[in-house]
Chains A and B, each alone.
Chain A
């Protein structure tokens, strides 16, 4: 069985309450997911808390990722990335009023979506390379650093009122490449 199929099998067993499979899933994916939380949050304490939240969610919602239309690893990574970015944004907001901030952790498509698959794992990297470097970096910063449009504008020296159009052009190019 390929590692991908093994992850799928483990998640299916976790959905049935198999704690041995849950432990094995943690062993198999924990380091990659902890790497993501460490990258985004930068310290072990918060990264560990985020990872714990992810696996608690995995235990309770293992049966739902197919309903949400996501492949198993994409589901795990998305949970992890969203959990870490939520915490990062809460930390940045500090004591300030964060009313209006979007809680990313529950951002899943909902029932009925087809399971998305892309056979070519390198396609995303290749398509990002077709963007101009700043726009490719902006996509990465938004995803892996949780940056907002305001932060992207600041980072790339763009006016606030044009950064969104600028990035959307990049996303359009990316989409054309990914779907070609």
Chain B
């Protein structure tokens, strides 16, 4: 029963150390211990879930990736001060049940690509959703407008890459952007890790240079939703 007691944290320090030493040399004991861990972990299924505080994941990212904000600016290659703008809110969806803890099998869930593109003071918020079937990116303006005589352009910035224009967004409502095949493939593809969508302020007709020329008004990391 030592394996069970060890898994329950009931062994004193000396006994625990002795058990750990036996573990390293005994595959059968390791297998027995792993089975106890698996079974005991089932008891966690009786503990009710609690919504995670909204800032928790940002705190985790800030701890793991402290250079992130600077690297977004570096990737955008813009020298303007972004004191009033930039940095993101995150769009999250909760998965309500985990089949491992409930008894009946769960139906499969589909993956969607989405991003909430927001100014830091949330004066400008757009929600982007990618539909892989049509290759279209739907961008819905949820807050904020456009400066008179200027337009807003949407950029996809993949990790380590220069910004790529996805098109202009309308002053109100939802803009449907049909993406080039290679961009649709990038968004619909497997690993996005670190990709960001950004809105920049541009002259009418969009950037004349193919790269952002005006201020970055809002950014948002691209997320996979299940």
Contacts and interface: CB of A to CB of B under 8 A. Distances in A.
Nearest to B33: A109
A3 B195 contact: no
B92 A27 contact: yes
Interface in A1-32: 1-4, 6-7, 13, 16-21, 23-24, 26-32
Interface in B66-97: 90, 92-95, 97
Contact of A168 (B5, B37, B226): B5
A175 B53 CA distance: 38
- 10 interchain residue pairs of minimum CB distance: A113-B30, A124-B42, A31-B49, A69-B34, A109-B30, A116-B34, A30-B52, A28-B95, A77-B41, A18-B193
A112 to B, nearest CB: 5
A51 B51 CA distance: 12
Interface string B58-70: 0111011100000
A161 interface: no
B209 interface: no
A142 B225 contact: no
A141 B67 CA distance: 42
B56 A30 contact: yes
B226 A6 contact: yes
Contacts of A44: 53
Assign chain A's interface to a size class.
35 or more
Interface of A: 1-4, 6-7, 13, 16-21, 23-24, 26-32, 34-36, 38-39, 44, 47-48, 51-52, 55-56, 59, 68-71, 73-74, 77-78, 80-82, 85, 100-102, 104, 107, 109-110, 112-118, 121-125, 128, 139-140, 142-144, 146, 148-149, 164, 167-168, 171-172, 174-175, 178
Interface residues of B, number: 73
Contact of B10 (A23, A124, A128, A142): A142
Contacts of A121: 42, 45, 100-103
B100 A27 contact: no
B7 A175 contact: no
Contact of B4 (A38, A52, A59, A171): A171
B207 interface: no
Contacts of A24: 223-226
Interface of B: 1, 4-13, 16, 20, 23-24, 27, 30-31, 33-35, 37-53, 56-57, 59-61, 63-65, 90, 92-95, 97-103, 105-106, 108-109, 191-195, 221-226
Contacts of B52: 26, 30-31, 34, 51
Nearest to A142: B8
Contact of A69 (B5, B16, B30, B109): B30
Contacts of B40: 124, 139, 143
Contact of A142 (B9, B47, B98): B9
A34 B49 contact: yes
A52 B60 contact: yes
Contacts of A171: 1, 4-5
Contacts of A115: 34
Nearest to B93: A27
Contacts of A164: 10
Contacts of A56: 60, 63-64
A13 B191 contact: yes
Contacts of A7: 98, 100
Contact of B38 (A74, A80, A142): A74
Given A69-B31, A113-B27, A124-B42, A100 B63 contact: no
Contact of A148 (B7, B10, B93, B95): B10
Contacts of B56: 30, 34, 48, 51-52
Contacts of A32: 44, 47, 49, 98, 101
